[in-house]
Structure formats: C-alpha cells, structure tokens
Chain A
Amino acid sequence: MMAVYTERPQGSRAERLTSFSLDDIAVPTGREEEWRFTPVTRLAPLFEPAHHPDAVTMDVSLAPEVEAEVVPTTDPRLGKAGKPGDRTAVAAWNATQQAVVVTIPEGVAASEVTTLDVRALTSDPEVVQILVHAKPHSQAVVVLDHHGVGTVNETVEMVVEDHADLTVVAVQDWDDGAIHASSHRSVLGEGARLKHVVVTFGGDVVRVTPDASFLAEDGNVEMVGLYFADAGQHLEHRLFVDHSQPNCVSRVTYKGALQGAGAHAVWVGDVLIQAAATGTDTYELNRNLVLTKGARADSVPNLEIETGEIEGAGHASATGRFDDEQLYYLMSRGITEPEARRLVVHGFFAELLSDIDIPEVKERLLASIEEELEHSMTAMTSGGK
C-alpha cells in the first residue's frame, strides 16, 4: 500500500531524533518503536560508553592503492555521514577515542579487496570506529570481518563522493556469546554508487542498523543482507534509506534462515521519500525461511512517501515455513533428507549469492551456510527437530 502524506505520521523516520550527544538519546526500555523487537537487557552493556582498548584487535589488509590511518576523533573527516540515531550508536560515538580511516584516492580503482579484520580478545565492552572514504571517481571493495566472543559497539561511516563506486561487506561471524551493535551510516554524492552487504551468522545478540542518505542527484544504493539465526540467537537488521534528493535509486534485498528454539530474526526496512526527491526509484524485499519450530522472524517494511512524482516505490516481505512438499519431491528422487534440506536452503539464498560477486566473500558465505546446516542436521539426527 502506498500513501502520500501531507502531514508526517507519528513515528515517522523523518521526525526521528538523531544526535552526537549522549544526553539527547535516552537508554531504551524496550517499549520504543525502534527497540520493540530487541531484547534490550541482553544488549544493555552497549548502552553506556565503555572502552577497553585491549579487548579488540584489528588486522588491516589493504589493496595497494588504498590508504589507512588511525586518527583521533577530532579528525574533521569524521561525523560527515549522518548522526547516531539510537542509544547504542550514540554511546559508541561518545566512547570512541580513535578511528580507522580507509581512503580510496580520487580516480583510483583498487586492484584487490581491502579487509579489516576485527577480532574480540575478551568480552569487555569495546568500541570500534571506521570511516571508509571513497573519493570522487574511485572504485573499491572493503570487507569488515568480525570474530571472537566480544561485546563490541561499532560505528561504520561510509562517505561515497561523486561518481565513486564503493562496495562494503560487513560479516558478523562472531562466536557464541558475542554481543554486537553496529551503526552503518553512509552518504552518497552525485552519481555515486554504494553496494552495502551485511552477512550475519554468529553472536548471541547482533543488531546492525545501516542508514543511507544522498547529498546529490543520481545516487544508487544497493543493500543486500543474508543472515542465519540459530537457537537462542537474536539477529536484527534495521535499515533506513533517506531519499532527500531527486533521481536516486535504492534496492534492498535481505534474506534469512532460522532454526532452533528461540532463534529470532528482525528485519525493519524504513524508506523515506522526501518531497524534494522526485524521480526516486526504490524497492525493498525481505524473505525469511523458518526451518524448524520455535524460531520467529519479524519483518516490517515501511515506506513513507511525501511526493507523488516518483519512478517507483515498493516493498515485499514474506516469511515461510520449510516446505515439506519440496522435501518430498527431492527425496522421491533418492536424495536423502539432509541433502534435500541443504538444496532447498542453498536454493533460497542462491539469488542473493549470485548478487554478491566477490569470490572471496562468496566462498566464505557458502562455507558458513554449510556450517549452519551441519548444526541443523545434528539437531535433526539427535531428535531435536
């Protein structure tokens, strides 16, 4: 359904408070719209600024054309990709003492993937701040990888200048017990393109909130996400695309599988088309595949449209149970049940995987999906279906 608002509705993303100041954004109770699906008590260690420098290490592997530096938080390049929009984001911003800035110089196409490997060494709360700055007419792929049993609050800023083409892949491959919140904020210049990929497999509570906004016309943002929630895991992805400029395009495609008691996935996709954003073309889609009983997926697309002069706007959301007829069909051809399940789940993610055309990342993803399926086979054979 589509509605053109003359007055902004209550809870409108346009009206949502954003701020760099901790005092402006209160600790949530869980009753707030943006926290209502989240187990806030489990995420509580990230609500206050906390800093344990020995808790996290970062290994950086740069493409030869790409530069990286560690800067103090007073660096004027920071804070240009929008303000924190929730308590964890503002707590992260205020706890940070230094940031890693990755720069792709003007006109340069990086010849290799740049990887930032974040590893938690202890579960003491720590903050990570990263800025990926793609200068005009540059091109690069940057992968952020996360491992370990950490309590990590993160800010990732992406500044994509005019006609730059940036791909950022964030992989949340935490070990059991990890708690993680990450605010991804991006701005796109004229004709800029951002492909933003989020992959979440591991961690007890993981909440990633990617925001995208446009500074000029003809920007293009593609947001792709893949997640696999196991028993007891809460994996949340909350996106916001702010169309404030004319003729920009956004595409959001998130797919997740869930298995096991208490597995919980949350996807919220907010898209705002402001009055000035004529010629906007946007579509968002979320699909969930529930493999076992006891898992729950919440999926909420929101589209707010303040101008009628757009190219297109739509959304789709569906959550389906594992289809026993598919299983029957495959098994009737001699394929064993675990193998049939594997085929169906791979099939569910196939389209997404073909969208992620970075071989290193794709192989990792396939391996992670395999690993998740191993869990479900074990659960099945031990009778825990």
Chain B
Amino acid sequence: MKRILRRHLSSALVVSVILGIVFIAARPEAEQSAPIPESVRLLQELDLNTQDAFQKQLYLDMASALTGDSAKYKQLWQRLVLTETQQAGLTKSQLRQKMANRRSVPVLFLMYVKFILIYLVVMALTYYGVQTLGAYLFLRYKQQNPPDVYRFLFALRRLISEPEWQTAKRLGAIGIKMLCKAMLYLLLFTPAYVIAYSIKTDFDTESVPFMILLGVISNGVLITYSNKFYHFLLNESRKGYVRTAIVKNLNNDYSICKKRGIRWRSLLALRKKFPGHVLEHIFMNARFQYFATLKEQAAFIITGLLIIEMALNIHGHLSYELLQQLLYQNYDLAALIILGIFLIVKATELVTDLAIFKEQKRLGSS
C-alpha cells in the first residue's frame, strides 16, 4: 500500500513542481498583468515616440512650464517607456485580447470544482452502464439466439410462402428492432460534437445535464468499455471452475425474466447480485478485472469531457478556458489548468490502485 501511495504521490509531486515552475515563469510581469493606469493610457493615446530625445525633452519642458512638477511627469514618462517595452512583442489588439481573456485563479478554481463534479457523475454513470450493458451483451450471447438478419430473412421467407398477418407483424417487429439497434450503435459511436450540433436548435446543448448525458453515451466510451467487460465475462465463463460449478448443478439458465433465469431487477440493480446462479461468480471475477481498466477509462472520460466542452465552445467551463488561454498564449494559466486535470487522473489512478489492493488482500492473493 505504501508503495502505491509513494509511486502516485511522487509522480504527482514531480509534475506539480514542473507545471508550478511553468506557471510562475510564464506569468506576465505584475505591471503587465495589472491594468494600465489611466494617465499612462492617455499618454499612449498621444502616440509619442519614446525613443525620440527631442519629443522627450519637449514633453518634460511642457510639464515643467504648465505644472511646475517635473519629477512626477518624468516618472510618468518612465512608466510609459516600460509599458511600451513590455508591449513591444505584441500588437495592441493582441495584448488587449490577451489581458481581457485572462481569468483569476479563484474563478478557474470554481470551474475546476464544476468539472470535477461533472466528471464524478459521468464516471459513476459509466461504471454502472458498463457493467449493466456488458452483462446484458453477455446474456444475449449465452442465449445463443440466431442473428437478427437471419430471423428477419426467415420471417420474410415464411411471409412469402404462407402470407399471414402474424408473420407480417413479426417481420415488422424484427425490422424495427434491427433499425433501432443500428441507430443506437451509430449513436454510441458518434462523436459528441456531431450529436450536439445536430440537435443544437432544439435543445439547450450547453446545460450541465446534457453535458453529462453526452459524456456517458457519446465518443464510444460506453460501448468500448461495455464490450471490454463483456469480453471479461466471456473469458471468465470459459474457465474450469465455471464448468465444475455447472456440473455440480449450479443454475446456468441465462434467459432473462424466466423462473430459473436472470431477473431484470438483478440485471439493472446498482449492486448486481445473482444468488444461486453461476453468473454471480463469473460477474464477481470479471468485475475485479474491470477495476484495472478504470484508470484507462477515467482518462478516456476526461478526454471525452474536454472534447465536449472545447468543441461546443461552452463558456465558463474549464476546457473552454484552457483552449482560450492557449489561444491567447497565457501559458501560465494553461499550465495551471493542465495540472488540475492531471491531478484528477492521478487521484483516480490512486483510488483504483487502492481498491484493487484492498480487493486482492480480501481475496488473499496480495
């Protein structure tokens, strides 16, 4: 356990130090980040050439003659020279944009908290969705039903040879099912920005619940990890202990909603339990393997959320700000946001590793 903690914390510390240095080094000078004083701004509007000695002398003479306080105006001139030197590398409009797009650290922190909350909800929903969908796919596989296309063709053949209303209805039902399945599959693989743009006119695509929904169903997150879980279940079901359990008369009826089979309630439950069924053991072992992929899944979910926020230009969200800070070359703030995101991934990795360690200890294999 100490080793796990040391590994993750040292990594987080090193990256924090590096990005912290970037944050400090890339931070604009205090004078530059602070708003330009009104007096200097007015002086800038006169479009004076600070390099011209004649203009400088004329300015100082006028200040002395009109106000009698030459020291104050000399200081103001020096400030003007400093400001213009700082702005030398940037055009006026670029600087204005750069400064206007800077966000204070507390504002970024609030965005960060919002991002974490959204991430946690998406993670929890995906965790549940992956196990439910994966188990459902596994049950469908075990039921050994013929492919839908085959069933459709079979019903069509029967309808042609013996036209009956019942057969036509069955054919229609299979056709609709196939269509819905194809649409659902395409939806699960569609990148979030395509879904969001296609329904932008009818829904508020910038709301948090919509973002959560997109985070769960789009970008292939749910289907990819459900499929992984399904393969864990499949590999587990081929192991010797499962065959032994079946030989010893443990229930292995994989039909859904039958007396001896699996109930919908068990399948859809938050904590899935299948007492007296061989699936209980297959599921427990597959879930243990799935824990290890949670780290990868976390990074994938974060990638998905970043894509959603950036691609949809959702103002006031962390990823949109990251893109804006990169665009206006505020690299200090960009480094700070990246550090925050890195720490979320690291925290997830740490929690996952600790959970695996705990589970291994419980099973006595540590």
- Asked whether A and B interact, the reply is no
Q: Please list the residues of chain B having a beta carbon within 8 angstroms of any beta carbon in chain A.
A: none
